[in-house]
Amino acid sequence: MISLALLAALFSTSQAISFAPKAGTTGQDIALVLFQGASSPAQGYAPVAQQIQQVAAQSGIRAFVSIPSFVFDTPEPLQTDSAFNGALKELKGLGFTGDNVFLAGHSLGGVMAQSYAVKHTDVIKGLILEGSVLLRGTRKVQANGFTKFNLDLPTLTLCGELDGLMRITRCAEAYYHQIENIDPSQKNLFPVVPFQGFSHWRFSSGALPSNVLNNDLQAEISEEEAHYQVASAITGFIGKLIGNSRAARVAATSVFDIKPLVEAMKLENSYYIRDACYSQTLINQERPDCSKGSPWVQANAQRIMGGDLPSGVKLSGDDNFHRVWTVNPVHLPQFNNTCDGHSSCILNSVTVTELINTELDVMDTGMFPIAALEMRCKLMSRQATQKAAGVEKPDFHQTDEVGNRCADINNEAIQYAYSHLSTEAKKRYDQFGQKLVVGDDQGPYNAGPLWIWTNMIYEDNSDKTTLTLKSAMMRTPTDYLISAAAGFHYCKLLSPFRAMEWMQVDGLKAHYNAKTHTQELAFLQ
Last residue of a domain, one of 256, 290, 312: 256
For residue 521, the model assigns a pLDDT of 44
Low-confidence ranges of the chain (pLDDT < 50): 1-13, 518-525
Q: Is residue 504 part of a domain?
A: yes
Sequence-distant (≥ 6) Cβ neighbours of residue 514 within 8 angstroms: 164, 199, 201, 208, 212, 213, 214, 215, 216, 217, 218
Q: Are residues 198 and 282 in the same domain?
A: no
Q: Is residue 499 part of a domain?
A: yes
Q: Is residue 400 part of a domain?
A: yes
Q: Are residues 305 and 355 in the same domain?
A: yes
For residue 14, the model assigns a pLDDT of 56
Q: Are residues 17 and 83 in the same domain?
A: yes
Q: Are residues 16 and 131 in the same domain?
A: yes
Q: Are residues 490 and 382 in the same domain?
A: yes
For residue 414, the model assigns a pLDDT of 98
Q: Is residue 521 part of a domain?
A: no
For residue 517, the model assigns a pLDDT of 64
Q: Are residues 218 and 291 in the same domain?
A: no
At 208-224, the pLDDT tens digits run: 999 999 999 999 999 99
Element of type H or E holding 267: helix 259-268
CATH number of residue 84's parent domain: 3.40.50.1820
Nearest one of 325, 102, 124 to 234, comparing CA atoms: 102
For residue 508, the model assigns a pLDDT of 98
Domain that holds residue 32: 4-256
Q: Is residue 268 part of a domain?
A: yes
Q: What are phi and psi of 426, to 5 degrees?
A: -65, -45
Q: Are residues 267 and 167 in the same domain?
A: no
For residue 518, the model assigns a pLDDT of 44
Q: Are residues 333 and 251 in the same domain?
A: no
Number of domains into which the chain is organized:
2
Nearest one of 310, 323, 305 to 475, comparing CA atoms: 305
For residue 516, the model assigns a pLDDT of 84
Last residue of a domain, one of 256, 286, 320: 256
Nearest one of 148, 36, 38, 44 to 103, comparing CA atoms: 36
Q: Are residues 159 and 272 in the same domain?
A: no
Q: Is residue 472 part of a domain?
A: yes
Q: The whole model's pTM is what?
A: 0.95
Q: Are residues 224 and 333 in the same domain?
A: no
Q: Are residues 212 and 268 in the same domain?
A: no
Last residue of a domain, one of 256, 281, 304: 256
Q: Is residue 142 part of a domain?
A: yes
CA-based max dimension of the chain: 88
For residue 447, the model assigns a pLDDT of 83
Q: Is residue 230 part of a domain?
A: yes
Q: Are residues 267 and 250 in the same domain?
A: no
